[in-house]
Structure 1
Amino acid sequence: MDYEHVREVDPAVADALSGEVTRQNETLAMIASENHVSEAVLEAQGSALTNKYAEGYPGKRYYGGCQYADDVENLAIERAKELWGAEHVNVQPHSGTQANQAVYFAMLDPGDKILSMELSHGGHLSHGHPANFTGQLYEVESYEVDPETGYIDYEELHAMAEEFEPDIVVSGYSAYPRTVDWERIQAAADAVDALHLADIAHITGLVAGGAHPSPVGIADFVTGSTHKTIRAGRGGIVMCDEQYAEDIDKAVFPGGQGGPLMHNIAGKAVGFKEALDPSFEEYAAQTVRNAKALADRLQEHGFSLVSEGTDNHLVLVDLRPSHPDTTGGDAEEALEETGIVLNANTVPGETRSAFNPSGIRIGTPALTTRGFDEEDLRVVADCIKQVVDAPEDEDVKAEAEATVAELCDANPLYE
C-alpha cells in the first residue's frame, strides 16, 4: 500500500496513510471494537461509488444514474438477511449510533422512557447517556450488572421494568463480557408492553458466525455495527420484522440522514459475502477461544476480571484489586509504548473519572483476523502483566516490545 496517487497530490496525507499501515502491521490491535478488513473491503470502500449520491432506496432514488448503487445496496441487504435471518434490513446508517437513532425516532416520542444499561457497567452512549441525544430527548432509567458477579441480574431488570414502565428496553453492550439472554430481556419488555431493541454492535460477527445466540426473531429491533467482529464496511445496520420496515426506513432516510455512503455500503456488501463463507464460523469461534485464553492467563497473573472471565470477544480488567495505584490510562499508555493497543475503560462501581478510569478493555477480533491462536494470546497476556506490573521500567517495556515484534512478524497483516 504505497498510495502513489495520493502521494502525487498530497505527500503529507500519503505519509500519514503509509504510517498508519505500518502502525497496524507492527502493533497489536486489541481495542475490542476494532478489526482488520480485507484488501477487498478496502478497495470497495475506496471505489468510485465515493462519487455517487443515491438518496432514497433501491428502485426509489431521488437521483439518476443509480443502477450500480442499487445493485450494491441490494446485494448488501440480501446478504445481511442471509447472515442474520432478518425479515427486513436497512444498511444505510452511517454508524451503530445512527442505527439506534433510527429505532428511537421511528418508535418513540420525546419524553418517552428508555430502560438501558448504565454506561459504566457496559452500556453505550447511544443507550441514554446525558451527553448523548438519547439522554436529552428521552427519560432514561439505567440497570446495572450485579456488583458481586458482574453478570446482568435479569430478575432485577424485570423488576425495574415493571416499576419504570419503559416504552423501550435496550439490550446489547459495549463492555459486557458474558452471553446475553435475549429471551429474558424480551420477557421483561413484554411484561410492560414495551419494545425491545437489541444492539449487537460488538457481536455482529459472533452472532453471524454462531458463536453467540442471536436476538433476531426475539427482539423487535436489532441494530449493530458492520466493522467490528463482522469485518465489513464501516457503518451501521438495522434489522426488524416486516411490520416495522416502512417506519424504520423513513427514520433512516429522510428522518436521520441524507445520502447514504455508497462506498461504505459496497464495503458492507463485500464483507458480508466474506462472512457467508463457512470459514467465518471458525473465525468467530476462534475469536472467543482466544478471548478465553487471554482471560485465563490474566487471571493466573492475578488480574481481577469483571465477571471473572468472558464468553465473547472481550475481557474487562478491573485494575483496582491487583494494581490499586495504576489507572486504566496509565496501563493504556505504557502498553501502547510496547505496541499493545487497547483502551482504558470504566468498570462497575467505578471510583475514578471516566477520562482516566480503573479498568482496561481488551479484545481479540483483530488478532484473530491476523491468525493468532490461544498460545499467542497467552504470550500477549504475559506481556501485559510485565508492563502493567512495571509501567515505568524501560527494560521491561523493551522486552515486551521485542515480543510484540516477533508476534507481528509471524502474523503479517497487509503485505
Structure 2
Amino acid sequence: MHQPAIPHLQAQDPDVAGLVEAEARRQFEKIRLIASENYVSPAVLEATGSVLTNKYSEGYAGRRYYEGQQNVDPLETLAIERAKALFGVEHANVQPYSGSPANLAVYMAFLQPGDTFMGMALPMGGHLTHGAPVSVTGKWFNPVRYGVRADTGRVDLDEVRDLALKERPKLIWCGGTAIPRIIDFPAFAEIAREVGAVLAADVAHIAGLIAGGAHPSPVGYADAISTTTHKTLRGPRGAMIMSTEEHAKAIDKAVFPGLQGGPHDHTTAAIAVALKEAAQPSFAAYARQIVANAQALAAALVERGYDLVSGGTDNHLILIDLTSKGIGGKPAAQALDRAGIELNYNTVPFDPRKPFDPSGLRLGTSSITTRGLTETQMPQLAAWIDEAVQAASKADEGVLARVAGQVRELLAAYPMPGWAATP
C-alpha cells in the first residue's frame, strides 16, 4: 500500500487511486535505471502532499504580494539556508518550478535576446536548454555548441577555449544530461574568465553527488549554479539556482517577476526536507555507493562486450552505444522494460541514427542504490541487461518474461520508500 496512505483518494476517486497504487507497485517491482529518477522519502512525500498546496505566495520572504505568509516566509527561508549550508553558496533561490525554467532564469539574468552563449550540444550530452535548435534557448539567443572528442568521448577543453576565444560568448554552460565523467569546473572557469563570460554550471544530474562529496563542486568557480532537486539529490520535482551574492538580485528578479508568479509552497517544503536529509552523514555514504554501483555495473557491461561512451563512468550515469550489438536503443529499451528493467534510449555522440530512434541507452544507479543494492548485484544486473538486449534482437518474449520474474524476486527483499506490499 502507498505510504503515506491514501484512504481519502481511494474513497473519492478510486480510478486515480488505482493508478497511483499501480504505479507504486510498478516502481517496486522494476529495476529503475532512468538516470533522472529516484525514490523520495515518505517525509518528502508528506510535505509534497501537505496543505501548503493551498497557499499562494507571490514574491519573496518579507516582500510578498499576498497576505497570510506567517508560515510560508520562515519555511522558504529555512529551505534557502539549508541549501546555502549544504552547498556552501552565498545565495540560493528555491522557487523555480523545474530545471528548464531555472536555466531560463539564468539566461534572463545575464543575457539579452540575440546574445551569444556556449553550451554542450544535445547529441553530445548537453541539455535542451543549452541551445538545442528546438528549444527557446536556441531560438531566442545565439548558441555556440561544443561537443566531445570522437576518440575519448570526453570534452576537449582546448577546443572549448579556442571556440570561446573565437565567438566571445557572454555566458558559458558546463554540465549536461548525459555526461558520465567528472566535469572540470576549474578549467571551464579559467576559459570563462579569459573571455569575460559568465560561467553557469548545470548540475541537475550530479547535485546529490556534490552534496555527498562524491563529485567536485562548482562552488568558487561558477557564477551561477542551476539544479533540479530530484535525481541524485533525492527530493521533489523542483529546482534551485545558487550563486555568488554579486548575482543574487539579478537571479531573483529573473525568477520572479521575470518568469513566474507564485512558488509552489508544498514543493518548497519538500525541498527543505530533502536538503536536511542530504546533510546527514548517511547521505554521503549513499552518494559514494551510487558511484561505486555505477562503476561496478559499467565494468560488468564492458566484460560482456558493451561499448560505453568514454569507456566508463565517474558518477551515476552510464551511456551505452549499441551499434556493435546490431540493435537500436529504442527497441532495446522497450524490451528491457518488458524484462523489468527501466531505462531510456538516448543519442550517443556522433550518432548516425535519428534522435527518436538512436543508437544508445542511458542508465543511472541512483534509484537502485536507494533501494539498497550494492556492487554485489551489479554483475547479475549486467547479465540481465545482456539477456534482454539479445532477446530483443530475436523477439524472444519468453526470455524477457523470465528475466522480469527474476527481477521481481530480487527486489522483493529490498524495501521501497513510499510503498509496501500488503501481506
- Alignment TM-score > 0.5, same fold: yes
Give the aligned partner of residue 70 of structure 1: 73
The residue identity in structure 2 corresponding to 1:344 is Y
State the distance in 2 between where 1:309 and 1:399 align. 29
State the distance in 2 between where 1:380 and 1:75 align. 40
Give the aligned partner of residue 105 of structure 2: 102
1:402 deviation in Å?
2.1
State the distance in 1 between where 2:300 and 2:406 align. 17
Give the aligned partner of residue 222 of structure 1: 225
Among 31, 37, 42, the alignment partner of 1:39 is 42
1:183 lines up with 2:180 in the alignment = no
Among 229, 247, 264, the alignment partner of 1:244 is 247
Give the aligned partner of residue 159 of structure 2: 156
Would the aligned equivalents of 1:376 and 1:407 in 2 still touch at CA under 8 Å?
no
1:394 deviation in Å?
2.2
1:395 lines up with 2:398 in the alignment = yes
State the distance in 2 between where 1:184 and 1:402 align. 47
Gaps of 5+ in 1: none
The 5 Å alignment of 1:90-169 reads 90-169=93-172
1:376 deviation in Å?
1.3
Give the aligned partner of residue 48 of structure 1: 51
Would the aligned equivalents of 2:338 and 2:401 in 1 still touch at CA under 8 Å?
no
Instruction: Spell out, residue by residue over 1:321-347, the C-alpha distance to the aligned partner (whole angstroms, 9 max, x if none).
Output: 2x12x1100111000001100000000
The residue identity in structure 2 corresponding to 1:16 is L
1:395 deviation in Å?
2.6
Q: TM-score, normalised by structure 2?
A: 0.96
1:47 deviation in Å?
0.3
Give the aligned partner of residue 332 of structure 1: 333
State the distance in 2 between where 1:258 and 1:219 align. 27
1:48 deviation in Å?
0.3
1:86 deviation in Å?
0.5
Give the aligned partner of residue 361 of structure 1: 362
Q: Partner of 1:360: helix, strand, or coil?
A: strand
1:301 deviation in Å?
0.3
Instruction: Spell out, residue by residue over 1:257-284, the C-alpha distance to the aligned partner (whole angstroms, 9 max, x if none).
Output: 0010000111100000000111100000
RMSD: 0.8
State the distance in 2 between where 1:59 and 1:381 align. 53
Give the aligned partner of residue 255 of structure 1: 258
Show structure 1 runs of 4+ deviating over 2 A.
Answer: none
1:308 lines up with 2:333 in the alignment = no
Among 19, 22, 27, the alignment partner of 1:24 is 27
1:319 lines up with 2:322 in the alignment = yes
Instruction: Spell out, residue by residue over 1:207-255, the C-alpha distance to the aligned partner (whole angstroms, 9 max, x if none).
Output: 0000000001111111101011001121110000111111110100010
Among 81, 87, 92, the alignment partner of 1:89 is 92
State the distance in 1 between where 2:206 and 2:99 align. 12
1:398 deviation in Å?
2.4
1:161 deviation in Å?
0.5
Among 272, 279, 304, the alignment partner of 2:275 is 272
1:399 deviation in Å?
2.4
State the distance in 2 between where 1:163 and 1:336 align. 45
State the distance in 2 between where 1:394 and 1:103 align. 47
The residue identity in structure 2 corresponding to 1:341 is E
1:132 deviation in Å?
1.0
1:60 deviation in Å?
1.1
Instruction: Spell out, residue by residue over 1:95-147, the C-alpha distance to the aligned partner (whole angstroms, 9 max, x if none).
Output: 11111111100110000011111101100001111111101110001101111
1:29 deviation in Å?
1.1
State the distance in 2 between where 1:86 and 1:280 align. 19
State the distance in 2 between where 1:403 and 1:362 align. 20
Instruction: Spell out, residue by residue over 1:323-377, the C-alpha distance to the aligned partner (whole angstroms, 9 max, x if none).
Output: 12x1100111000001100000000011111011100001000000000101112
State the distance in 2 between where 1:130 and 1:54 align. 35
Give the aligned partner of residue 171 of structure 1: 174
State the distance in 2 between where 1:304 and 1:399 align. 25
Give the aligned partner of residue 384 of structure 2: 383
Would the aligned equivalents of 1:299 and 1:305 in 2 still touch at CA under 8 Å?
yes
State the distance in 1 between where 2:355 and 2:257 align. 35
1:94 deviation in Å?
0.5
Q: Percent identity?
A: 50
Among 289, 292, 296, the alignment partner of 2:292 is 289
State the distance in 2 between where 1:69 and 1:176 align. 37
State the distance in 2 between where 1:394 and 1:333 align. 12
1:188 deviation in Å?
1.1
Gaps of 5+ in 2: none
Would the aligned equivalents of 1:3 and 1:18 in 2 still touch at CA under 8 Å?
no
State the distance in 2 between where 1:313 and 1:19 align. 27
Q: TM-score, normalised by structure 1?
A: 0.98
State the distance in 1 between where 2:121 and 2:376 align. 34
Would the aligned equivalents of 1:233 and 1:266 in 2 still touch at CA under 8 Å?
no
State the distance in 1 between where 2:128 and 2:391 align. 33
Decide which moves more: 203-212 or 1-10. 1-10
Would the aligned equivalents of 1:55 and 1:260 in 2 still touch at CA under 8 Å?
yes
The residue identity in structure 2 corresponding to 1:387 is A
Q: Partner of 2:172: helix, strand, or coil?
A: strand
The residue identity in structure 1 corresponding to 2:247 is Y
Give the aligned partner of residue 346 of structure 1: 347
Q: Partner of 1:253: helix, strand, or coil?
A: helix
Instruction: Spell out, residue by residue over 1:143-173, the C-alpha distance to the aligned partner (whole angstroms, 9 max, x if none).
Output: 0111100011011111110011111010011
Decide which moves more: 398-407 or 44-53. 398-407
The residue identity in structure 2 corresponding to 1:74 is T
Q: Partner of 2:118: helix, strand, or coil?
A: strand
Decide which moves more: 34-43 or 70-79. 70-79
